[in-house]
Structure 1
Amino acid sequence: MKRLVHALWALPLAAQAASADVIASDPDSVLKVLRDQGLAATMETDDLGDPKIVSHLTGDSNTEFVVLFYGCTDNVDCSSIQFYVAYDMKDPVTALKMNQWNREWLFTKATLDDEGDPGLEMDVILADPGIDRKLFKTTVDIWQQSIDAFEDYIDW
């Protein structure tokens, strides 16, 4: 896990601010990077009318996840996103198990619904001026690695 932290922060700060290619106020910029990473992704809207991207991991799991947009004004001009995936388990998962995940993993947060089904989320601030593609691609890589590890962790 420490390698993920070092990989994210190893990017020079000047490169992060050089060109803001990905910004929440332009949901298509997020969609484009997901597709460039080889993920199937489609733009939709959530129940409030805000943008929402539905995507799938590639490979054996083909896990579906969503990218939700937050801090939106009148369903546009959003300031952050949240990657989110949920699982419908046969047997409930304990809060103790989710807390253990949260103590050991950076960037992602494990949650439980009322039925004991786990979820995983990762918040990303993409307010003006946004971030460059390289850093956002690293963020997407961290999300994908976290899903793979989380699915092993919950015996999915």
Structure 2
Amino acid sequence: MTRPFSARRTLSRCAPSLLALSCWAGAASADVIASDPDTVLKALRAEGLAATMETDDLGDPKIVTHLTGKSNTEFSVLFYGCTDNTDCSSIQFYVAYDMPDPVTALKMNQWNREWLFTKATLDDEGDPGLEMDVILADPGVDDKLFATTIDLWRQSIDAFEDFIDW
């Protein structure tokens, strides 16, 4: 199984291409996904995800959606750095799993050592979660880079679910 962006040595190969994509995205932007939560919602839907806008406990926007294909996993898109519950500077893709047996911190640390761009977490009960942060601050990201981000998230969830024996 190919694990994109999984080994630390991959960073030296991927970082220049991601940087180039990021620079290209800013220069030749078709549709910009920016700090407006509605642009994020539309971009997720454009990638074929059935997404709904909600609000979190602080009143900030939160999008709930799920992947299709191998995994029908539901995940959230959380918004951070918001001003008056809008104009948010970043988002976080987040998924949590309720496991029958606790997962160890050692196992989550193994994921974090081997994978780039996503972070494995544990809650107080030993249930794992997976996060990926995306900066949307001015000037935002273009739709092609956002599509690449969604693809990376899909691949990461598939690999993480195999990793935790979900």
Q: Settle same-fold status: TM greater than 0.5.
A: yes
Partner residue in 1 for 2:45: 35
Rounded Cα–Cα distance in structure 1 between residues aligned with 2:123 and 2:54: 24
Match of 1:137 among 127, 147, 150: 147
Letter of the 1:106 partner, please give it: L
Partner residue in 2 for 1:21: 32
Hey, which bits of structure 1, 4+ residues long, moved more than 6 A? none
Letter of the 2:128 partner, please give it: P
Alpha-carbon displacement from aligned partner over 1:62-98 (angstroms, at most 9, x marks no partner):
1000000000011111100000000000000000000
After TM superposition, give the deviation of residue 59 of structure 1 in Å. Answer: 1.9
Query: Does 2:153 match 1:114?
Result: no
Match of 1:91 among 76, 93, 101: 101
Rounded Cα–Cα distance in structure 2 between residues aligned with 1:17 and 1:44: 32
Rounded Cα–Cα distance in structure 1 between residues aligned with 2:49 and 2:149: 14
Distance 1:120 1:2, change over 3 A: closer
Rounded Cα–Cα distance in structure 2 between residues aligned with 1:111 and 1:145: 18
Partner residue in 1 for 2:133: 123
Alpha-carbon displacement from aligned partner over 1:123-156 (angstroms, at most 9, x marks no partner):
1110111011101110111111100000000000
Query: Does 2:123 match 1:102?
Result: no
Match of 1:82 among 92, 98, 104: 92
Rounded Cα–Cα distance in structure 1 between residues aligned with 2:111 and 2:95: 15
Matched pairs, number: 155
Percent identity between matched residues is 79
Rounded Cα–Cα distance in structure 2 between residues aligned with 1:149 and 1:33: 24
Partner residue in 1 for 2:157: 147
Partner residue in 2 for 1:71: 81
Rounded Cα–Cα distance in structure 2 between residues aligned with 1:110 and 1:71: 22
Rounded Cα–Cα distance in structure 2 between residues aligned with 1:60 and 1:105: 20
Alpha-carbon displacement from aligned partner over 1:87-126 (angstroms, at most 9, x marks no partner):
0000000000000000000000000000000000001110
CA contact (8 A) 1:43 1:53 kept: yes
CA contact (8 A) 2:82 2:89 kept: yes
Rounded Cα–Cα distance in structure 1 between residues aligned with 2:151 and 2:18: 10
After TM superposition, give the deviation of residue 61 of structure 1 in Å. Answer: 2.4
Letter of the 1:129 partner, please give it: P
When the two structures are superposed, what TM-score results if normalisation uses the length of structure 2?
Answer: 0.87
When the two structures are superposed, what TM-score results if normalisation uses the length of structure 1?
Answer: 0.92
